[in-house]
Structure 1
Amino acid sequence: MARKMLIDGEVAAVADGGHYDYDLFVIGAGSGGVRGSRTAASFGAKVAICELPFHPISSEWLGGHGGTCVIRGCVPKKILVYGASFRGEFEDSKNFGWEINGDINFNWKTLLENKTKEIVRLNGVYQRILTSAGVTMIEGAGSLVDAHTVEVSQPDGSKQRYTAKHILIATGSRAQRVNIPGKDLAITSDEALSLEELPKRAVILGGGYIAVEFASIWRGMGAEVDLFYRRDLPLRFVINFRESLLLLIL
């Protein structure tokens, strides 16, 4: 698409004789949106990208550069996974000659603060990548007006429209609550990554990899965890692995 933009001309003409504001306008600065905008800009296209203000928990008005994986998915979750793994390492170390004298204390708030620092850093990295590529960054919620117009809205109600020859929608998705009675009392993986206090007991609904990872995180940190799932075993998408896991547990 970027090559085609250059063939058609750096600035595409509008039917009424005017010009588009951009060759490419991208809605969403997650992995796909950032990659698409950088690639187009590298071929000389005039590119803009809009993204919501940064926050660890997403909402209609909150998001951040880097998207789900960087801000409220893979990266922060793996930080918590690593943090939880040390408990078992401390126990196993005794069998390998390590003598740990005194209490070993865990501070959930310290881990959470360092997790947040890392995703704030990565959010800034993605912004610098876009700036270096020559991509114009616009903060706000983007929506389509027509095939060549995007309207960017702000929480205060103000709006600004931009035109582009091509529009790339890369908004991704947000965690959803299952439509069951009491769903408003539950949290999603977004909130689970930013809990102010480590839960003493947790009930997790689901048997996919995200559910199992959160179960291992909280259990590794000392919480009592119950995992509810519909099938005979969790992790139904990796049959051989889950059967081997069951043998280890039993």
Structure 2
Amino acid sequence: MKFMSDFDLDLFVLGAGSGGVRAARIAAGHGAKVAIAEEFRTGGTCVIRGCVPKKIMVLASRFHDAFDDAAGYGWTLSTKPQFSWPALIAAKDKEIGRLSALYRQNLERSGVTQYQSRAVLEDAHTVKLLADGKTLRAKNILIATGGHPVIPHIPGAELAISSNEAFDLKELPKRILIVGGGYIALEFACLFHRLGSEVTLIHRGEKILRGFDEDLRDELMLAMAGEGITLKMNNTVAKIEEAPKGCRKVHYISGDDDEFDVVFFATGRAPNTSGIGLDNAGVTLKENGAVKVDDKSCTNVGHIFAVGDVTDRVNLTPVAIREGHALADTLFGNNAWTPDHSLVATAVFSTPELGAIGMTEQDAREKLIPVDIYRAKFRSLKHTMTRRQERTFMKLVVESKTDKVLGVHIMGEDAGEIIQLAAVAIGMGATKKDFDRTVAVHPTAAEELVTMREKVNVPNPGGAI
């Protein structure tokens, strides 16, 4: 099927991350002539310096617990386990290289032309490749350039690192300060702690993980503090100075100070929209620099689209993939559809892990929806045999009138795996009775989701119980 008319291409994609690659491959599969440009490495943030290397490092860190827990099951290690940071980084780099190559191979097999270059819009249909100055005319253009970590403008900020550099540190820091209270900050705090660093997490808010259920936020803070991570809430960094032996002296807004080997800011990300010619094409941006799009991922310029973190909608890799797929199907596959951003499951790969889908209890009460709350907190069977005091926590938010399960919130081992299937049930509109009549798989932690029977007696909007 041929789509192209007076253009070189049916679709040009700026950025070969998860969303851009999916859109390019699906569009090419529908018969469109597609090209994609990437100035760094194919795979984008998730594959190269995000989800995948982060999860690899998380898994590496959890062996610390596994070796310790083994004694409770009769295992005796003849020598103390030794960890090598350089070996982990080398293994991580090898896997990332393999995945990046696989992305390139899949694009090639799909018939997508690939350019290793920064691409800039010269006008609404013309793209210039800065590597060689070549210009291409595209009927449709997709902006999928993702985002980048932001370090606050404070004195000494140049002495700190972001998540980009954290994946490639030459050695494991003995003392590390992590600034932030979101996914990235918590995941790195937990993994560095288990790999052997002395970790301090500082956050300007009272609690971590804004937007998550309050119980989940509280439980994770208790777990992290109980494992030995120092938490400094309602505080942040005012200034960083060089200290002897390559250390960093950190001055807090509270007035005190401390020294660390590494200061790591995980305080947010910004969309990559600067310097790619969006103004030349007349594309409208939001106040924060993100590309403004409608529910079909279309900008104010009818043939220019944007997906993924560059739009600052739901900044998760699977969401970017669905946005890219939907766009390609809509433009070239005679199958118009839009992703649903209203019900997206998520996981935080801290240790213990979090999984969440749907409304929090606070969401429901703010919307004056009467709800029944079910909670369970227990020590899993695994840890009845170990010295670890880790607890699993599960919570259901159920609409009182309809019995519909509005939200599921989990903390514990494999929470991310469990929440994936819980998301299927929630997406289908499952009720508490549906959960109750499901036979439990025993002995598992997940069985608590279908065996919780007692409501937590908490006040509902308007004073009803």
Pairwise TM-score range, normalised by the shorter structure: 0.7 to 0.9
Of 3, 12, 17, 1:10 maps to: 3
What amino acid does structure 2 have at the position aligned with 1:49?
Answer: I
What does residue range 43-122 of structure 1 map to in structure 2 within 5 Å?
Answer: 43-52=30-39, 63-122=40-99
**Counterpart Cα distance in 1 of 2:174 and 2:66:** 21
**Counterpart Cα distance in 2 of 1:98 and 1:39:** 50
**Counterpart Cα distance in 2 of 1:198 and 1:219:** 10
Deviation track 1:165-219 (CA, whole Å, cap 9, x = no partner) reads 1111111111121222211110000100111111011001101111011111111
Deviation track 1:17-37 (CA, whole Å, cap 9, x = no partner) reads xxx211111111111111111
Give the equivalent residue in structure 2 for 1:207: 181
Q: Could you tell me how far 1:11 is from its partner in structure 2?
A: 2.5
- Percent identity among equivalent residues? 47
Give the equivalent residue in structure 1 for 2:300: none
Aligned residues: 224
Which secondary structure state, in structure 1, belongs to the residue aligned with residue 192 of structure 2? helix
What does residue range 48-197 of structure 1 map to in structure 2 within 5 Å?
Answer: 48-52=35-39, 63-154=40-131, 158-197=132-171
**Counterpart Cα distance in 2 of 1:231 and 1:240:** 16
Give the equivalent residue in structure 2 for 1:34: 21
Deviation track 1:84-141 (CA, whole Å, cap 9, x = no partner) reads 1111111111111110112211111111001001110000011011101101011100
Which deviates further from its counterpart, 173-182 or 220-229? 173-182
Q: Could you tell me how far 1:10 is from its partner in structure 2?
A: 3.1
**Larger Rg belongs to:** 2
**Counterpart Cα distance in 2 of 1:207 and 1:138:** 37
What amino acid does structure 2 have at the position aligned with 1:26?
Answer: V
TM-score in terms of structure 1 length = 0.86
**Counterpart Cα distance in 1 of 2:147 and 2:220:** 31
**Counterpart Cα distance in 1 of 2:90 and 2:155:** 33
Which secondary structure state, in structure 2, belongs to the residue aligned with residue 146 of structure 1? coil
Give the equivalent residue in structure 1 for 2:218: 243
Which deviates further from its counterpart, 130-139 or 236-245? 236-245
**Counterpart Cα distance in 1 of 2:222 and 2:60:** 26
Q: Could you tell me how far 1:70 is from its partner in structure 2?
A: 0.7
**Counterpart Cα distance in 2 of 1:125 and 1:133:** 12
**Counterpart Cα distance in 2 of 1:27 and 1:172:** 10
Please tell me whether residue 231 in structure 1 is matched to residue 208 in structure 2. Answer: no
**Counterpart Cα distance in 2 of 1:90 and 1:49:** 45
Please tell me whether residue 24 in structure 1 is matched to residue 17 in structure 2. Answer: no
TM-score in terms of structure 2 length = 0.47
Give the equivalent residue in structure 1 for 2:384: none
Q: Relative contact order: is structure 1 or structure 2 higher (C-alpha 8 Å, sep ≥ 6)? A: 1
Q: Could you tell me how far 1:232 is from its partner in structure 2?
A: 1.7
Q: Report the RMSD for the aligned CA atoms in angstroms.
A: 1.3
Structure (1/2) with the larger helix percentage: 1
**Counterpart Cα distance in 1 of 2:59 and 2:24:** 33
Q: Could you tell me how far 1:245 is from its partner in structure 2?
A: 2.4
Give the equivalent residue in structure 2 for 1:17: none
Give the equivalent residue in structure 2 for 1:216: 190
**Counterpart Cα distance in 2 of 1:241 and 1:191:** 29
Q: Could you tell me how far 1:160 is from its partner in structure 2?
A: 1.4
Which secondary structure state, in structure 2, belongs to the residue aligned with residue 194 of structure 1? coil
**Counterpart Cα distance in 1 of 2:217 and 2:3:** 54
